[in-house]
Amino acid sequence: MAEKVLMKGNEAVAEAAIRAGCRLYFAYPITPQSELIEYMAKMLPKVDGTFVQAESEVAAINMVYGASGTGRRVMTSSSSPGISLKMEGISYIAGANLPAVIINVQRGGPGLGDIQPAQGDYFQATKGGGHGDYRLIVLAPSTVQEFADMADLAFDLADKYRNPVMILSDGLLGQMMEPVEFKPAKTKEEMEKLNKQHYDWCMHPNEDEPDHHHHEINSLEIDPLILEQHVIKLGKKYDKITKNEQRHEEYNISADNKVIVVAFGTAARIAKSAIDQLQEEGINVGMIRPITVWPYPYEAISNVLNDKIKKVVVCELNLGQMIEDVKLAVNGKLPVEFLGKVGGILFTPDEIKAKIMDNRGE
Amino acid sequence: MEIIAQRPKSLTDLQFTYCPGCTHGISHRIIAEAIDELEMRNQMMGVAPVGCSVFAYKFFDCDMAEAAHGRAPAVATGMKRARPDMHVFTYQGDGDLAAIGTAEIIHAANRGEHISVFFVNNAIYGMTGGQMAPTTLPGMKTTTSPYGRDETDIGYPIQACELLNSLRAPYFIERVSLLSPQDILKATKIVKKALQFNKEERGFTFVEFVSTCPTNWGLAPLEAMKWAKENMLPYFPLGNFRDKSIEGGE
Amino acid sequence: MKTEIISSGFGGQGALTIGKFLAKAGMREGLNVSWLPSYGPEMRGGTANVSAVISDRPIASPLVTYPDILIALNQPSIDKFGPNIKEGGLLISNTDMCPHGTKRKDITVIKAPMNKIAKEIGNMMVLNMVAIGIVIGKTGIVKYETLEEDLSKFLKKKNPQLLEANLKAIKKGIEIGKK
């Protein structure tokens, strides 16, 4: 087993991305993700990788578009206001069926907001953000270890589906240090294989006649009938992802649960400690933690509902965004309550405990 | 049978969709010929813009990427950095390069990216129907400057070569025109020179084509060329601004 | 057992490093640990502070609001976090920079002139190691040997003199903590 190291989330995910074969990274500095860009600036040259500090987040995501068009593993990262700027490029990447990994170390918004942890970009990440009918695969880590592990997963999913993948983290996970164990780095042979995996469609050196290829990286289809087919095909891909890639964690689910908590990311780790404390007091509260927030694990939530459960409590670091998906999953069968914190402020386990106790109906 | 002229290999056999008398076809052809002559086609990747030449990705027969409006130099940066063993060019219009993509072109040039940028300046937005461009001349009427461009209100036309020439990194900057057969011959040489430097990994190369837009100017093709010579060339003087391959060329 | 620590001081006093070394030692001893700094423009001027948690169970929230232990390297740290120390908790204060101390009677207070001790050892950089020593001496949440091993790993060859000074400072702290 690899040795555990104490590392910030921002650095751990950067290291994990390099190990996963990422040799191209383009970004612009922004708090609270700057350690990520700094780590890449320092480490990529040591593995013959390429780091470019772009003139803007807009430029960075378009560099990602270009690099991804050559079939190579490429990543960018930012925090909320910068992710908004990347939305144009993300739509093009999705439209052109390109794999790419985008990390959002969320902070408080809207506008310039603040630089503390928040989950206010849930809608942007899971419901669109950019223009057009497209989907991002969105992974939501809740520990530094999981944040790091998701780099590998994100690249694999991106390559498998030729689709952009976002890791939806936040300032807390980016800034905090926790012990991390890394997977071994890709070997030279694995890298060679990775670099050629997309040769059937990507831009790469041509052979002489008669094998000359003309590969187009493109999201433009001016003929409505052709665009229609293109978007329908994208939709089929999203259906496949929805079917195959839902991930969630069940915590303390038991027959005597009267309340089920649903939370993701940092909110989920705080909720866990409230649940642990209640368990010590003899009260069993279950939790579903969506790991993919798109595709959303609707069935995982509806499957745990039973007659004994009185309420579902959603905890988020926003005004209530994921709660809409939870309501879809619950489908009117039970009341869905909400506990939120905004402004980059975290709730305490005590606040979650109090919310749960209020809703046990005793 | 002796072949005297034929379609360059670096152009697909698709028919151009440009208006009659448009100079895009000429600039496409001379770029494609240069790619062929320099035997760069097998390692060439191009980036098409948003504008009239949006379909350039279909016309050039090498690997091509279609960029978002103005972002071609950033996309090209990503491509070149990912595949330094290949060659990259962008083909951009005046709205694309000198308005919405100003940050991208300046910074790609400033980093000295090893790419060639071909910039088509016809002083107007063609595809969207003749609106004012950053290069529209003072007093020139367009659909969004119906009373003539008022430079005290909206500023003077941007001179891209002069602007980029203030940066240290670019290797080669030249403005040519497509307004007469002689000008086109000269442009052919300059395009080939820029791509030669590209092949040799010398650095950032930039060629601006002073072109026409008969349709949106409301002129016949030959009149458009005459108009451009009389009105555009005084504001956009032809010539070399930077050539680091010769002494004193900086 | 879970110990929640806030370490705080002026930028450059090494408050963040205290948290990091304690967390790292906890990790080496097989415990769950987390370390969360305050970040942003504030870190340039006022107090630099860090939350560190060492626990035998998974750590839910790395943000410490009510610490078991507050390590205050300067007075503003006591003013800011002193009122939040848990009843029966521990305040470790650097008397050289904390002239007013605390008025609380429901906590244990260990005072040490850390600037002076560091100066005597001959290196102001080891000021924070005195504080780490006090934590070890008083609570035993991590072992001295773990820290010695960790510090030796990257200092033994690079700067044996600094290693010596660090270990001396920790030992001095342990002595104070045990009193």
- Write down the pLDDT at residue A207: 82
- Write down the pLDDT at residue C11: 83
Task: List pLDDT tens digits, range B84-109.
Answer: 999 999 999 999 999 999 999 999 99
Q: How far apart are CA A348 and CA A346, in angstroms?
A: 6
How far does the CA of residue A348 sit from the closest CA of chain C (Å)?
8
ω into C67 cis (within 30 of 0): no
Size of interface A-B (CB pairs under 8 A): 133
Residues 6+ apart with CB under 8 A from C53: C2, C3, C4, C5, C23, C32, C33, C34, C59, C62, C64
Q: CA C12: distance to chain centroid?
A: 14
Q: Which residues in chain A have Cβ-Cβ distances shorter than 8 Å to C20?
A: 6, 177
Strand order in the sheet with A292-294: A50-53, A24-27, A74-78, A100-106, A164-170, A137-139, A292-294
Which of A105, A115, A178 is the best substitution to test chain C (most C C-beta atoms within 10 A)? A178
ω into A110 cis (within 30 of 0): yes
DSSP run (H or E) holding A40: helix A34-43
Mean pLDDT in residue range A12-22: 98
Of C37, C40, C61, nearest to A273 by CB-CB distance is C61
Positive/negative CA dihedral, A354, A355, A358, A360: negative
Per domain, the residue ranges of chain C are 2-178
- Write down the pLDDT at residue A362: 59
What single letter denotes the amino acid at residue C11? Answer: G
By CA distance, what is A30's nearest residue in C?
C40
Q: How far apart are CA B221 and CA B82, in angstroms?
A: 41
C63 contact A CB<8A:
yes
Of C24, C36, C40, nearest to A115 by CB-CB distance is C40
Task: Specify whether the CB–CB gap between A32 and A79 falls below 8 A.
Answer: yes
C20 contact A CB<8A:
yes
Cross-chain Cβ contact A179/C33 below 8 Å: yes
In the block, which residue shows the tokens 């620590």?
C5
Helix (H, G, I), strand (E, B) or coil at C15: helix
Residues 6+ apart with CB under 8 A from A69: A96, A98, A202, A203, A217, B65, B75, B78, B79
DSSP B160: H
Q: How far apart are CA B209 and CA B189, in angstroms?
A: 13
Cross-chain Cβ contact A6/C35 below 8 Å: yes
Of C39, C40, C60, nearest to A273 by CB-CB distance is C60
Of B100, B29, B34, nearest to B68 by C-alpha is B100
Task: Specify whether the CB–CB gap between A351 and A339 falls below 8 A.
Answer: yes
Strand partners, C108: C90
Task: List pLDDT tens digits, range C8-43.
Answer: 998 888 999 999 999 999 999 999 999 999 876 544
- Write down the pLDDT at residue B248: 75
- Write down the pLDDT at residue C76: 92
In the block, which residue shows the tokens 């659909």?
B143
3-state secondary structure A242-256: HHHCCCEEEECCCCC
Domains, in order of start, for chain B: 24-243 (3.40.50.970)
Instruction: Name the architecture of domain C2-178.
Output: 3-Layer(aba) Sandwich (3.40)
Task: List pLDDT tens digits, range A249-275.
Answer: 999 999 999 999 999 999 999 999 899
Residues 6+ apart with CB under 8 A from B217: B124, B224, B227
- Write down the pLDDT at residue B5: 86
Per domain, the residue ranges of chain A are 5-196, 249-358
A193: tokens are 């294989």
Per-position DSSP letters for C61-115, written without gaps between them: ----SS-SEEEESSHHHHHHHGGGSPTT-EEEEETTT-SS----SSSEEEEE-HH
Share of chain B above pLDDT 90, in %: 96
pLDDT value at B40 more than 60: yes
C5 contact A CB<8A:
no
Per-position DSSP letters for A228-281, written without gaps between them: HHHHHHHHHHHHHHHHH---EEEES--TT-SEEEE--HHHHHHHHHHHHHHHHT
- Write down the pLDDT at residue C41: 53
Residue A89 φ then ψ, to 5°: -65, -35
Task: Specify whether the CB–CB gap between A235 and A133 falls below 8 A.
Answer: yes
Q: Which residues in chain C have Cβ-Cβ distances shorter than 8 Å to A273?
A: 59-61
| Whole-structure pTM value | 0.95
- C touches B, CB cut-off 8 Å, minimum 3 pairs: no
- Write down the pLDDT at residue C40: 61
- Write down the pLDDT at residue C46: 63
Of A124, A127, A89, nearest to A219 by C-alpha is A89
Task: List pLDDT tens digits, range A285-311.
Answer: 999 999 999 999 999 999 999 999 999
Strands B116-121 and B87-93, bridge-based pairing: parallel
Strands B205-210 and A292-294, bridge-based pairing: unpaired
ω into C37 cis (within 30 of 0): no
- Write down the pLDDT at residue A245: 98
- Write down the pLDDT at residue C169: 97
Residue A167 φ then ψ, to 5°: -100, 115
Of A100, A30, A33, nearest to A61 by C-alpha is A100
Strand partners, A138: A166, A294
Q: Which residues in chain C have Cβ-Cβ distances shorter than 8 Å to A277?
A: none
- Write down the pLDDT at residue C39: 74
pLDDT in 10s for each residue of chain C, 179 residues: 899 999 999 888 899 999 999 999 999 999 999 999 987 654 445 678 999 999 998 898 898 989 999 999 999 999 999 999 999 999 999 999 999 999 999 999 999 999 999 999 999 999 999 999 999 999 999 999 999 999 999 899 999 999 999 999 999 999 999 98
DSSP C43: G
- C touches A, CB cut-off 8 Å, minimum 3 pairs: yes
In the block, which residue shows the tokens 């050039």?
B60
Strand partners, C69: C5, C90
DSSP run (H or E) holding C54: strand C47-55
Domains A5-196 and A249-358 share a fold: yes
Positive/negative CA dihedral, A57, A62, A68, A72: negative
pLDDT value at A88 more than 60: yes
Strand partners, A217: B65
Between B72-82 and A57-68, two packed helices, what is the crossing angle to 10 degrees?
50
How many residues are there in chain A?
A: 362
What single letter denotes the amino acid at residue C9? Answer: G
Homologous superfamily of A5-196: Thiamin diphosphate (ThDP)-binding fold, Pyr/PP domains (3.40.50.970)
Task: Specify whether the CB–CB gap between C118 and C169 falls below 8 A.
Answer: yes
How many residues are there in chain B?
A: 250
CATH fold for the domain made of A249-358: Rossmann fold (3.40.50)
Strand partners, B82: none
Residue A246 φ then ψ, to 5°: -70, 135
How many residues are there in chain C?
A: 179
Per-position DSSP letters for B91-107, written without gaps between them: EEEHHIIIIITHHHHHH
Residues of A with CB under 8 A from a CB of B: 24, 26, 50, 52, 54-56, 58-60, 62-70, 72, 74, 88-89, 92, 96, 203-208, 212-220
Residue A348's pLDDT band, with cuts at 50, 70 and 90, is confident
Burial track B122-141 (b if 16+ CB lie within 10 A, e otherwise): bbbbbbeebbbbbbbbbebe
How far does the CA of residue B220 sit from the closest CA of chain A (Å)?
28
Cross-chain Cβ contact A176/C62 below 8 Å: yes
Cross-chain Cβ contact B103/A68 below 8 Å: no
B47: tokens are 């980036």
Burial track C142-160 (b if 16+ CB lie within 10 A, e otherwise): bebebbbebbeeebeeeee
- Write down the pLDDT at residue C43: 46
Q: How far apart are CA C163 and CA B29, in angstroms?
A: 70
| Helix, strand, coil % in chain A, rounded to nearest 5 | 40, 20, 40
